[in-house]
Amino acid sequence: MVVRAVDAIERKRREKKALLKEDIRRSEIAAQKTKLCEALGTSEAEFDKIKIEYTSHWIPKRTGGRRKLDIPSDGLKQLQKKILHKLVYREKTHPFSYGFRKRKSIVDNARPHCNSAVVIKLDIKDFFPSIKKDQVRAVFQNFSWDRELSDRLSELCCWQGVLPQGAPTSPALSNIILKPIDDSLSHLALRNGAVYTRYADDITYSLNSDDSKKIGVLIKVTQSELAKLGFKLNFKKGKIRVLRRHQHQEICGITVNTQKPTLSRKKRRLIRAAKHRLDNGLYATMTIEQIEGWENFNRMVDAEHSHIQQAYLARPHQSSAADSPT
C-alpha cells in the first residue's frame, strides 16, 4: 500500500511538472508570436486566420510555350510581402546566385563566363515545385522562430505542400534553400578550374580549356548534389548544353562568346521582325509580352555596356610610345 501511495504521488508530481513545462512553452510561443506579428506589422488574428487561397494563371514563356503561375489572394499576397521584407530578405544569399536579387541581373550572371573555351548549361527540373514545405519551415526555424510559428509561416508561403511560382516570397526563399547547393557547386567548380553561377533554375559552368573529363565530372557531381536536397537535373533535349568557343554561347539570352556580354544580332533581328508584324496586325512567333521581355534584356545589356565604357573612359591612361606623336 505504501509503495502504491508513493508511486501515485510521484506520478502526480511528474504530471504537474509536465503541465507546468507545457504552460511555460505556450507562454514563450505566445510571446514569440506577439514579437513576430509586431515585426511584420500585422495582427495576431490575421496571422492565424487568413485563408490560403490561390488562383492559377498561364503566361507565355520567352522561349515559347506557357508557364503556370499560382497567384495568392490580395490579402495573402500583402502578408507574404511583409514576411519577405521583414524576415526573408535579412538572410544573405550566395554571391554566385544572381536570380531574384536586388541590383543583380542576367548580365551579372553571364559576365563571369565571357570568352570561355567551354560553357556548360544545366537546368533544374520543376524548380519551385521541388521545394517542399518542410524545407521552407526549416528556413524559418533557422531564423530562431519556434517550430509551431515556423510551421504557420511555411503554410503562409506554400501552396499544396510546395513553393508556388507566383508568390512574392518564393524566389527569395528558393535562394536561401539552395544556398548549400551553391556552396558545394562553387567549390566543385573551384577544384576543377571552372566558374560557377546560378540564375534561378539555370546552372552555368565555364572552363578556359576544353577538358572532357572535367565536363563530365561537373555534370555528374551536380546531379548528385542536387539529389541531396530533392532536386533533379532536367535531361530533356536542349536542357543540358556543352557549348564550345566556335558555337553560339548563350546564357539566359545573353551571348558570352566575346569579352563582353551581348545580345546576338540574330536575336535582335527576330525581336524587330516580330514587333513589326504585331504592329501591322499580323501573326508573329512572339507575343507582345515576350517582345517586351527581350527588349528589357536589350536595354539592360546596352546600359551595362554604356556603364563599362564610361568607367573605362574616365580612367587615367598613360600614353605609350605608340600613342606619342612622331
224 in Cβ contact with 232 (< 8 Å): no
Q: What is the pLDDT of residue 253?
A: 80
| Residue 84: CB atoms within 10 Å | 18
Using the predicted structure, report yes or no on whether residue 18 has a pLDDT greater than 70. Answer: no
pLDDT given for residue 24 in this prediction:
56
Query: What's the average model confidence in pLDDT over 64-68?
Result: 74
pLDDT class for 326, splitting at 50, 70, 90? very low
Residue 277 pLDDT: 83
Query: Across all residues in the chain, what is the average pLDDT?
Result: 85
Across residues 174-197, what is the average pLDDT? 97
The pLDDT tens digits of the residues spanning 104-114 come to 888 889 999 99
**Which percentage of the chain shows pLDDT scores above 70?**
81
Rounded CA separation 313/310 (Å)? 5
pLDDT at position 325 is 33
The secondary structure of residue 41, as a DSSP letter, is T
191 versus 8: which is more confidently predicted?
191
**pLDDT, position 58:** 85
Helix (H) or strand (E) holding 242: strand 241-244
